[in-house]
Structure formats: C-alpha cells, structure tokens
Structure 1
Amino acid sequence: MEELFQVGSITQTHGIKGEVKVFPLTDDISRFKGMKHLLLDGGKDGYIELEVENARPQKNLVILKFKGIDNINDIEKYKGKGLYVTKENRVELKKDEYFIADLIGCDVYTDDNPDEKFGEISDVMETGANDVYDIELVNGGNVLLPAIKDCILKVDVDARRVDIHLLKGLMD
C-alpha cells in the first residue's frame, strides 16, 4: 500500500446531515478547503475513499461534509477514526515549507564539514514562533536547532539531506 499521511481525526458528528467535526493535524486548517479526496480509517473494513464536498473552520476544528454521506447514521460509527491523504493528494506547499513527515529521518550536514554526516532529524517541534528540529547526533546526544534562515541553509527532501549552519554557542 502507498504511503499515507494522517491529516486529522473525526471527533464527533455535527448535526444530522452527515457532517463531522475533525481535529486537524496541520498548522493551517485552511488547507482542508483545498483537499478533495481523503481516506477514512474504516477499521476492519480497510480504508474508505471519501470525496470532500465542503470544509469550513470552526474554532480549532474543521467541519467536513463528504459527498454521498447525508445522514448522521452513515458517519457516526467512525467517530475517533483517522483521516488520511496519499502523498500525491497532499496540499501544495509554499516555497521553503516542508511536511514534518518528510523531514524526519533526513541526514544533517553542517557548512563547516559538508561531507561528514552530523546527525539525523528525529523530531520537529512546533513552537509558534518557528519550528525547532531535534537532531540526533552521530556521536550521540541531541541538539535542538531553530528552523530559521540563519540555521537552515538547504533542504532536499528527495535526497533526504538538510544542510545547516550552527550558531555560536549552540554546541557549547
């Protein structure tokens, strides 16, 4: 099966006409307006392909309406289930934006020693001001690196490589 990315999970139904409230797993819930096809984790029934008919934000949630699901009884059994997209159905990102799932596992190299692996991105923390990359060092330990232009020199997710500049005092 192709790689799937979770974009949210159904928290509860909304009204009686088949709408659901979804907790989004994205930093920009307006992205749901651009999503046309989602896969619902149907448990033992496998993944169910759904076409998004309507998406609108409500506080920190998104209300979704799926084509062909017009009754609360048709969707209620899927409360708590995840919603996924395939790699080709992910939303388009702007320049210098990356999916967290694509960054995790990328090899990291420094501008001081571009031919020697420095570490690997093990996690990305969203702090509000900017993301922070948790880099697991080759020689053990970790370093937290802010994802800012001064530190992130080049990202090539296809090559699974990130080139960085270490600010003074970061490794002391």
Structure 2
Amino acid sequence: MKRTIVASAIALAALQGQAIAEGGMPFGDDASKAYAAKLWDAMKDAGLAGEGMMHAFPYEGTDPHGMMLETFYTSATIDGHTGALIVKRNYGPEGVSAEEVLMAPEKHLGAVTVMFKREAGYDPEDNDWFWAKFLPDGSLDKNPKGMALAGRVAKGADVGCIACHSGADGNDFIFTSNAIK
C-alpha cells in the first residue's frame, strides 16, 4: 500500500512537471517577464507610464487595486500583434482623495495593473489576456512566493487576476465594459 501511494505521488509529480514543460509556467517565467518589459515600453511610448504620463480624473476603487484609480482603454502593438490594452493605475493609501492624487500622483501611486489582449491561442480559456502588475518604476511586482506577476497570473488558482475577472459580466474578463471582446 505504501509503495503504491509513493509510486502514485511520483507519477503525479512527473506529470505535473511534464505539463509545465509542455505548456510553460502560467506566469512569472522569463518569457512572460520579457513580454511585460515590451508592454511597459509600449505604455511609456503611449504616455501611459513613466515620466510625463497622462492623467485622468481618479475615481474611487477598492482592494486589490487601490482606493483611487485611473483607467485607460486603448490598444498597443507588441511583436507585430495589436491588441486591446487596459491600464489601471492603483493609488493609495486608504482614505486618499481624488484631489490628493491629482496634486501628487507620484506620491500615491502604488502599482499599475495591466490587461493586454494577446494573439489568438495564447490562453483561449481566459480570452487570451496577458496580465501584469507593475510597480511605479516599471519593475514587476511579485506574489508572496516571489513569482513575478506577469503572464497568465494565478491561472487555475482560486484567487488572483484570472479567478476574479472570470466573474465579469459578458464573459470578457472586464468589469467596466463589454465593449472589448
């Protein structure tokens, strides 16, 4: 009985390793981090990130994003593919006002969360969205295990980007609009 359990555990671990090798890690791998860097550069070029970025009137938000938010909807081209781009700037701390964010956005910016519609087949189960969470300087934020938050973030998990956004109306992973398919 003990040998059967051990053999089963070894076989399961081998299958999981094979699945990761075939499909790659869902997020935080080198390819996802490199793609996120290209995405950040495209955002800087469009005035959505970095020094001199454009601003909008912030609105009230909630966890996990921020107490005040700015959201931009546009498109970007990465490696020859043009897709929908949603950029959400997350401001805090709790209690921060729109006026305070407008007066000193750099002081209150905690993170920039991004959804980018990748080419068909990237992640068909999740509408081919690429997810990233950047710190204000353009580096990638990390989860408690130290994995960079870029790619198919928390795919298959009960919490995280994909798990939360899968509940959005319209089966499009976007809570604010059904305009992007």
Larger Rg: 1
Q: TM above 0.5, one fold?
A: no
Considering fraction of residues, name the structure with more helix.
2
Query: What TM-score do the two structures reach when normalised by structure 2?
Result: 0.21
Considering fraction of residues, name the structure with more strand.
1
Query: What TM-score do the two structures reach when normalised by structure 1?
Result: 0.21
